[in-house]
Copies of this chain bind each other. A is one copy, B any other.
Amino acid sequence: MVGSLELNVSAAAEILSENFDPKAFVAEPLPPLVLSNGDLGDGGGDVKNMQEKGREIVLGRNVHTTCLAVTEPEANDDFTGDKDAYMASVLARYRKTLMERTKHHLGYPYNLDFDYGALAQLQHFSINNLGDPFIESNYGVHSREFEVGVLDWFARLWEIEKTEYWGYITNCGTEGNLHGILIGREVFPDGILYASRESHYSVFKAARMYRMECEKVDTLVSGEIDCADFKVKLLANKDKPAIINVNIGTTVKGAVDDLDLVIQTLEESGFTQDRFYIHCDGALFGLMMPFVKRAPKVSFKKPIGSVSVSGHKFVGCPMPCGVQITRMDHINTLSRSVEYLASRDATIMGSRNGHAPIFLWYTLNKKGYKGFQKEVQKCLRNAHYLKDRLHEAGISAMLNELSSTVVFERPLDEEFIRRWQLACQGNIAHVVVMPNVNVDKLDDFLNELVEKRSTWYQDEKVKPPCIAADVGTENCVCGLHK
């Protein structure tokens, strides 16, 4: 121990040396390019090499081929303005691409219709809500007043008192699921995670990250959790508490798990409220469902532990974000005080985007509960329109009652899928009808689809796929089922 102490002191002394010259920097800061052959290069030209050698391209397209390299400024750039001009041209081209892509987007549940012009003035600030939203950090450039205002709005929507809830604005739906499931695990360290097969992939990622036992539960054709199978699995694991992920709108089919039936199944299987924890993944529909009359209600008056919803989906936001609400009791189990923050560590992330809460606050204020109701109504109406027109055109399609996600046969042509940015799985694709998707856009899409199909399937030997297994025979109009 003495030896170790001596080492400490001498090392410390050297580090704190008074001889340090702060002007002694590396003479040439530009690091040499590293290339496979060890030569210096110009930064391009090794894409082919890369593709041959390294990256395993599993799906989609490889971006390295089209990336916008960062280049070192020239000494006279300030004088010539060449670099500024180059960057402006890149950005102008990019903006055009974004407009084009936004116009044709149909596949992902993002509301692309928003105008945050009034907030552009805030982009100049580094707004960071690090730590707990309810406990002000020493870092003053934050937006907690907005964040808590937004959280209160959601707490009211999901029926929990201001004094009883805790929550925060997350970076995305995944963070909400990671947080909710982590609370579940901290409340029940030996709990088993139950989630339907059609749950978002982040739920299974959480199980792996957190080293939790996980039971995948079967689904109905609609995509809902199959509570009969759930019961079988609960009864086989009666000795351990249950942590359940309930989907308020699955990713692919927009199916809503029946929360009441899930609770009933737990009770019937002998799980009392002190032996289960329910996290509701409301990514998209968490915000739509409260405005649909016949929807099973997501409410903290029921024995649920947490609800998460995405902010960039139905609300619409330039960057991904989400809202996570849980019970105050639970968060005290999870959190740790961090003096450096002068706040509490109860979130998954540390530094937190302070702009997102202001975007949400702005839209919630503008639209209000009534505005969201109108938009939900419009979306469901347009989704029905799309499903009906697909059926009329002899195309297999399904629409769950509480959903604006229309599932249909996967288009044959990948270029068409990419053009309309459709999310696909196996033989099915989907369109999520969001507030920015109007009838005109749907007509454009439908007309193009019908026209293309006539060429894809002109040869009698190529048939549209049967998707009865995905959508049920009553929604499939393939050769066998029509």
A30 at the binding interface (Cβ < 8 Å): yes
Please tell me if the beta carbons of A72 and B33 are within 8 angstroms of each other in the complex.
no
Please tell me if the beta carbons of A31 and B164 are within 8 angstroms of each other in the complex.
no
| Interface residue stretch chosen among A107-115, A437-445, A453-461 | A107-115
A87 at the binding interface (Cβ < 8 Å): yes
| A246-B145 Cα distance, complex, nearest whole Å | 36
Number of copies: 2
What does DSSP make chain A's interface, helix, strand, loop or mixed? mixed
A272 at the binding interface (Cβ < 8 Å): no
- Known contacts: A128-B110, A139-B107. The answer to whether A229 contacts B31 by CB under 8 A is no
* Partner among B31, B91, B209 whose Cβ is within 8 Å of the Cβ of A157: B31
Interface band, chain A? 35 or more
- Known contacts: A60-B136, A349-B175. The answer to whether A126 contacts B318 by CB under 8 A is yes
* Partner among B20, B36, B365 whose Cβ is within 8 Å of the Cβ of A163: B36
Please tell me if the beta carbons of A12 and B138 are within 8 angstroms of each other in the complex.
no
Interface flags, A243-277, vs B, CB<8A=1, else 0: 00000000110000010000000000000000000
| A228-B293 Cα distance, complex, nearest whole Å | 67
Please tell me if the beta carbons of B105 and A140 are within 8 angstroms of each other in the complex.
yes
A68 / chain B contacts, CB cutoff of 8 Å: 145-146, 148-149, 361
A319 at the binding interface (Cβ < 8 Å): yes
| Interface residue stretch chosen among A234-242, A370-378, A462-470 | A370-378
| A332-B101 Cα distance, complex, nearest whole Å | 30
Enumerate A92-116 residues with CB–CB distance to B below 8 Å.
Answer: 94-95, 98, 101-102, 104-105, 107-108, 110-112, 114-116
Please tell me if the beta carbons of A182 and B161 are within 8 angstroms of each other in the complex.
no
A323 / chain B contacts, CB cutoff of 8 Å: none
| A211-B141 Cα distance, complex, nearest whole Å | 34
A373 / chain B contacts, CB cutoff of 8 Å: 25-26, 29
Cβ-closest chain B residue relative to A17: B401
Interface flags, A218-237, vs B, CB<8A=1, else 0: 00111010111100100000
A393 at the binding interface (Cβ < 8 Å): no
* Partner among B15, B159, B349, B370 whose Cβ is within 8 Å of the Cβ of A30: B370
**Most B CB within 10 A of own CB, among A134, A224, A310, A380:** A134
A76 / chain B contacts, CB cutoff of 8 Å: none
* Partner among B135, B400, B474 whose Cβ is within 8 Å of the Cβ of A58: B135
Please tell me if the beta carbons of A50 and B162 are within 8 angstroms of each other in the complex.
yes
A425 at the binding interface (Cβ < 8 Å): yes
| A8-B88 Cα distance, complex, nearest whole Å | 57
Please tell me if the beta carbons of A73 and B370 are within 8 angstroms of each other in the complex.
yes
Please tell me if the beta carbons of A46 and B162 are within 8 angstroms of each other in the complex.
yes
- Known contacts: A201-B345, A220-B12, A343-B59. The answer to whether A54 contacts B163 by CB under 8 A is yes
Please tell me if the beta carbons of A229 and B4 are within 8 angstroms of each other in the complex.
yes
A361 / chain B contacts, CB cutoff of 8 Å: 68, 70
Please tell me if the beta carbons of B59 and A228 are within 8 angstroms of each other in the complex.
no
**Most B CB within 10 A of own CB, among A12, A104, A115, A229:** A12
Please tell me if the beta carbons of A152 and B350 are within 8 angstroms of each other in the complex.
no
A306 at the binding interface (Cβ < 8 Å): no
* Partner among B43, B341, B343, B367 whose Cβ is within 8 Å of the Cβ of A73: B367
A352 / chain B contacts, CB cutoff of 8 Å: 172, 320
| A105-B125 Cα distance, complex, nearest whole Å | 12
Please tell me if the beta carbons of A290 and B29 are within 8 angstroms of each other in the complex.
yes
Please tell me if the beta carbons of B422 and A138 are within 8 angstroms of each other in the complex.
yes
Cβ-closest chain B residue relative to A92: B121
Interface flags, A358-373, vs B, CB<8A=1, else 0: 0001101111111111
Cβ-closest chain B residue relative to A347: B174
A71 / chain B contacts, CB cutoff of 8 Å: 365, 368
Please tell me if the beta carbons of B112 and A141 are within 8 angstroms of each other in the complex.
yes
* Partner among B124, B232, B328 whose Cβ is within 8 Å of the Cβ of A54: B328
A-B contact pairs, 14 of them (CB 8 A): A15-B222, A15-B401, A25-B293, A46-B162, A49-B163, A59-B342, A61-B135, A67-B148, A95-B121, A107-B138, A175-B349, A201-B336, A205-B345, A211-B211
For the complex of A and B, 7 pairs with smallest distance between CB atoms: A4-B228, A320-B351, A101-B140, A67-B148, A174-B350, A54-B163, A172-B351
Besides A4-B228, A64-B134, 4 more A-B contacts (Cβ < 8 Å) are A8-B226, A64-B148, A138-B421, A342-B424
